[in-house]
Structure 1
Amino acid sequence: MSVPEESVEKTIYLIRHAESEENRRIGSLKNSLRTLGRFRLPSLQDAKAVGELLNIPAQIDSIVSDIGKDQISDMKAKLDAANFLETFNVKLVVHSPLIRARETSEGMLGCVAPETKVGAVNRVVELAELIEMTPKEWIPMYRGQFKGRVEFFEKWLHDQPEDTIAVVGHSEFFKAMLGLDFKFGNCDVWKLTFNYSKKGQEMEDTTSEQICAPKKKPSSADFKEGEQLTTYILPPQWSNVTKIYTGKKVES
């Protein structure tokens, strides 16, 4: 893939979808394993949810859970209070075609494709390449297919005329794109600087703090609102990764 010569710096807001039914079922699986580890039987509710994981297609394109709906409502109130789209001059919203991302975009931002204009937003786009990692792409021999989608998306971002873009997508996609070892929380909103022309260049002025791995594996919850990521060496095209809004915590 050729690298564009033109240097275009953009502000990108990455938003992970609200808790989905798949997330709920996986959470029940984790609860069940913890319970079995204590030599106790899982709850009937967790056991039923684990059984639902056998329906693979339902996990790939699952709807938002009841908890997810509550998360969307909570974050919508925060974004409305901050007049998010207008205050941050968001001109383009792009989201995954999966149901949970569409529901999150519509519920939190008030827009979903094929709508073309909402408030300060000029365009709303649904992008197929933004879907979460598929079961096939978890297989090592097909990981290049997933990497190709990530690279396509970055090139796509560069080619858009808007310089302030909100993206509603998925945890594994964002995690791979930024080279992190943790996932964004449901409905978390992160602000980043994107400059595709820096792709492939060496990082400059890397601090020892960036080189050193965290003492413990972090989670999205470890970062406070307004706090910037400093413990990772990010791909050159991404910088200034800052959590600006925290999604409502899922009660376990």
Structure 2
Amino acid sequence: MTPTRIVCIRHGESTFNAAHRLTGRDPGHIDARLTERGLGQVEAARAALHDIAFDLVVTSPLTRAIQTTKGLFAGHPAKPRILVEVLHRECQESSCDIGRAASVLASEFPDVAVDHLPEIWWHAEGAPDADGIHIEPRPLFDRRVVDFRTWLAGRPERTIAVVGHGTFFFHLTGTWLDNCETVDLDLSRLRMSR
């Protein structure tokens, strides 16, 4: 059964977002966390999601997405299951898109199950660029977008929230989201071309 509603939610403002906006440069924030402003955005967004009976929340394993997920769905009346999934992590092209080991995430977020993730779950292949970042090749990223659409279409849950990232959501939905902005994803209107 295909889900009847999928709500994509971009994470709150991260330290990378704030620093990059000021300087236009990559500040070197590996797996960037939310800023105080980002935490406030999460708190402000909670009310709009409160009355949606989510069955499942799928979050990226990047820290800013996990923080957003915990802030949005802690105490949610539907008590949705939270699943950490790597397919919709951000396109790796900046320092903030480099993850931290699954064991480190498990230690910091003991209430979030990450034991199914490989220890290194982000793109770490090939030679890094001059800044030490392994840039994810575009064909690999495009493949992940298609694979995530397919994965979502096969889910048994009826109402799903997906907490993730701007570039990934743009390629998934065609809409650029601001921090904590949402868009409904209609899988029936998307091509599943390979």
TM-score, normalised relative to structure 2: 0.70
**How far apart are the structure 2 equivalents of 1:158 and 1:130?**
14
Give the AA of the match of 1:66: E
Match of 2:81 among 115, 123, 132: 123
**Secondary structure of the corresponding residue to residue 151 of structure 2:** helix
**Secondary structure of the corresponding residue to residue 25 of structure 1:** helix
**Residue 12 of structure 1, CA deviation:** 0.7
**Residue 73 of structure 1, CA deviation:** 1.8
**Residue 124 of structure 1, CA deviation:** 1.2
Q: How many residues align?
A: 153
- Structure with the bigger RCO (C-alpha within 8 Å, sep 6+) is 2
1:64 and 2:28 matched: no
Could you list the runs of 5+ residues in structure 1 that have no partner in the other structure? Answer: 1-6, 31-49, 112-117, 201-252
Give the AA of the match of 1:69: L
Partner of 2:19: 25
Q: What are the equivalent positions in structure 2 for 1:139-178 lying under 5 Å apart?
A: 142-178=137-173
**How far apart are the structure 1 equivalents of 2:148 and 2:185?**
15
**Residue 163 of structure 1, CA deviation:** 1.7
**How far apart are the structure 2 equivalents of 1:124 and 1:9?**
16
1:107 and 2:77 matched: no
**Residue 198 of structure 1, CA deviation:** 5.7
1:179-223 residue CA offsets vs partner (Å, 9 max, x unmatched): 34xx201011222322389635xxxxxxxxxxxxxxxxxxxxxxx
**How far apart are the structure 2 equivalents of 1:122 and 1:109?**
8
**Residue 160 of structure 1, CA deviation:** 1.0
**How far apart are the structure 1 equivalents of 2:42 and 2:65?**
11
The structure carrying a bigger helix percent of its residues is 1
Name the CA shift for 1:144/1:24 in 2 (closer, same or farther; >3 Å): same
Partner of 1:39: none
**How far apart are the structure 2 equivalents of 1:93 and 1:9?**
13
CA contact (8 A) 2:2 2:156 kept: no
1:189 and 2:168 matched: no
CA contact (8 A) 1:158 1:196 kept: no
Larger radius of gyration: 1
CA contact (8 A) 1:12 1:167 kept: yes
1:158-180 residue CA offsets vs partner (Å, 9 max, x unmatched): 11101210000000000011234
Give the AA of the match of 1:13: V
CA contact (8 A) 1:9 1:163 kept: yes
Partner of 1:16: 10
**How far apart are the structure 1 equivalents of 2:3 and 2:173?**
16
TM-score, normalised relative to structure 1: 0.55
**How far apart are the structure 2 equivalents of 1:68 and 1:26?**
14
**How far apart are the structure 1 equivalents of 2:189 and 2:151?**
10
Match of 1:179 among 166, 174, 181: 174
Name the CA shift for 1:92/1:9 in 2 (closer, same or farther; >3 Å): closer
